[in-house]
Chains A and B, each alone.
Chain A
Amino acid sequence: MTIDRRIILQAGASALALGLAPQGAFAQAEAYRIGALNPVTGAGSPYGSGMAEMIFAAVDEVNAAGGAAGRRLQVFADDTQTNPQSAVLAAKKLIEVNKVNAILGTWSSGVSLAVIPLVNDANILLMHTSGAPALSTPPANAKGYGYRFQATNDRFGRAFAEIAVKEGYKRPVTMAFNNASGIGNTQGFKKAWEAKGNKVLAEVVYEPNQPSYRAELQKVLAARPDVIVMGSFLPDTTIILREAFQSGANVKWIIPGWAANPQLIRALGNEATEGVISVDSVANEQSASFARYDAAYRKGQSQPGASNVYAAMTYDMVITLALAIEAAGPGAGTAQINAKIREVANPAGDKVFSFAEGKTALAAGKKINYEGASSVLDFDEFGDVTPDFGVFFITKGQLERRYVVKI
């Protein structure tokens, strides 16, 4: 009996030792776990599965190049259902059950705002594509662990203002969908426009799912504007443009790229959309990183990569994170990795367009600057990207990029 107990105790002790020993004692360093938390269902569902898939694709790329700092990347995926309550439960599962070291790809502002306190408490990173301004600053981003891969709505608004100046418009009005994103766009425009000493002649905030937007249109048209600046989405843009055209209005439009897209043109026809200005953050379409992303996206989703700008962002999230892990070296924790993110993504340094390139350059002791598929990924002090904006004019049913605005 004594012998049995001793054997059991010894077995137990070695099992315990196995569990507690850092796996660096073995051949490989501990895997770096990524939580892919995306809007697979709910309002973000058009983008969510593509976003998740690109995280997996990028992780495969990194692992094929030997991992980051000797660590293999591992992904645990979950669905936010585009709803904060569900996202909190999913995040808790990822953090506490799967023990992830970073969460990537939350999409809606409500979700990111609900998840970021959990991420702060757990001392891990959050990379998201949400627009709400509150995500940049304390209390939400008090630890600086939040990174935004999408231009803030405010930035979009500022770009709109630059465009309005460039095109010589003098009498703008705004129409905003009543949610944080829509209002963020038009308020951003208003602030930038008024800072130049101009005035916005009328502003309207409209509710979703109305049978008609004539009254709203009437209000802005009464100010006799030359351009209407929109913070809107595809369904309401479709209705409003149609009603404007059919009421005989003769006015120009500046609309965010997610609303003024090929689907809008298909819905309304060439005549009603002629001359509409569609604005989107410049995906580095010419770059090699975009080409890699596009190839992966086409393979997985059978659609061009440009159809899901958020998937390009999640792809970049993995690559940027992996390069930061590589730069931080083995045994690095969240704070050390965090310190390297701007180092590998911001200017000053050799431009690299893939993980493998970056890894080689880092090994040679060089400073790198990863230029991503979604944008050049230059993060400001809040962790927000500062992309340029492509200005597209809808001409004869096609989106033609005429110039780029830098703000």
Chain B
Amino acid sequence: MEAYLIAILIVTAIYVLLSLGLTLQYGLTGLINFGHVGFFCIGAYAAAILSTAGSMPIAVGLVAGMLLAGLAAIPIGLVALRLRDDYFAIVTLGFSETVRLVITSEGWLTKGVQGIPGIPKLIDGVGTGPALMILALVGFANILAVIAFLRIVKSPFGRMIEAIRDNEDAVKALGKDPARFKIQVLVLGAVLAGLSGGFYAHYIGYVSPDQFLPIVTFYVWMAIIMGGVGRISGALVGTLLLMGFLEGSRFLRDLLPFISAVEMASIRIGAVGLALILFTIYRPQGLMGDYTRRK
């Protein structure tokens, strides 16, 4: 039983990292990123390609994934500054789909739709010992991310971001350029997503383009909306709720046998939708609160 729980915790930790990235972006800048899975995908594929075809050590792949995801965020950030938030959301959706199209088409690099199998594990070996070590590793990365998050928020950089959030015009009047700061936060969030993607690739051992559909971005949004937007604890709680929901539906069928198994997939997506609606209406918890100036 413990081995199964450890496996779930590892996947949860990977998703917490992903959620932290989105929380950073949305919480500090108010930018609506509907393309978060694109950064996740870049990190996963970078790690996959470098550790299989490139035969490089795992650490290299992970770092490369973080860097590439961060770099990809820069043009997104530049675009963000020119657009209203809802337009930006649509553009980011296009971004993640474009990433997926590129991965699908450039088979010489990514093996296209066949996917990349045989990605080495983070820590070799069978059984509970190595599994716990993997959990410790991903958990440690999470802790580092949280520390970094808190340091940023409390630093002069962080204070600048809050100032921008509270009164962007005043900041501009002081001669500071908010754009640069927003882009930096966007990049940091993308870096976390890229790292999360790398861990994911090494854990599941196989990546293919259809594992990086927009639904993943919306799962993460659901997690942070439920947990409480813009807060670290929110990312953690929300992701736990999300994983509980996704894995729990496996056991739900035993409790509700009259639901055809086939329809469980529909019910799952319906529940995600309902959660989004209900939380948006009744419990936004700062979802659209003071974090964005533009209404």
Q: Which residues of A line the B interface, CB within 8 A?
A: 40-42, 45, 48-49, 78-79, 81, 83-86, 88-90, 92-93, 96-97, 109-110, 113-114, 117, 121-122, 132, 134, 139-140, 178-180, 183
Find B261's partner among A40, A90, A97, A117 (CB 8 Å cutoff). A40
Q: Please state if A85 and B265 are interface contacts (CB–CB under 8 Å).
A: no
Question: Are A85 and B208 in touch, CB under 8 angstroms?
Answer: no
Interfacial chain A residues near B281, Cβ < 8 Å: none
Nearest 5 interchain pairs by C-beta:
A96-B3, A41-B265, A114-B206, A113-B117, A40-B261
Contact, CB under 8 Å: B261 / A89: no
Which residue of chain A is the closest to B208 with respect to CB atoms? A110
Q: Which residue of B lies closest to A123 (CB)?
A: B126
By a CB distance below 8 angstroms, the chain B residues around A117 are: 118, 205
Inter-chain contact B3/A97, CB cutoff 8 Å? yes
| A114 and B205 contact, CB distance less than 8 A | yes
Interface residue tally of chain B, by bracket? 20 to 34
Q: Give bound CA distance, A90 to B251, whole Å.
A: 11
Is B283 an interface residue when CB atoms closer than 8 A count as contact?
no
Q: Is the interface of A mostly helix, strand, loop or mixed?
A: helix
> Is the pair A179, B211 in contact by a Cβ cutoff of 8 Å?
no
Q: Which residues of A contact B114 (CB under 8 A)?
A: 109, 132, 134, 180, 183
Residue of A nearest to B260 (CB): A49
Cβ–Cβ contact B4 & A180, under 8 A: no
Closest chain B residue, CB of each to CB of A176: B113
Task: Report the minimum CB–CB distance from A7 to chain B (whole Å).
Answer: 30
Main secondary structure of the interface of B (DSSP, over half): helix
CA distance A86 to B249 in the complex (A): 11
Chain B residues packing against A (C-beta within 8 Å): 1, 3-4, 7-8, 11, 104, 112-115, 117-118, 126, 200, 203-206, 208, 210-211, 246-247, 250, 253, 261-262, 264-265
| Residues from chain A with Cβ under 8 Å of B246 in the complex | 86
Q: Report the Cα distance A40→B263, complex, angstroms.
A: 9
A233 to chain B, nearest CB (A): 13
Query: Are B211 and A85 in contact, with the CB atoms below 8 A?
Result: yes
B211: A residues at CB distance < 8 A: 83-85, 110
**Nearest residue in B to A142 (C-beta to C-beta)?**
B118
Instruction: List A contacts of B117 (CB < 8 A).
Output: 113-114, 134, 139-140
- Does the CB pair B113–A179 fall under 8 Å? yes
Cα A179 to Cα B114 in complex, Å, equals 7
Q: In the assembled complex, which residues on chain A have CB atoms less than 8 Å from the CB atom of B3? A: 92, 96-97
Chain B residues, Cβ within 8 Å of A96: 1, 3-4, 7
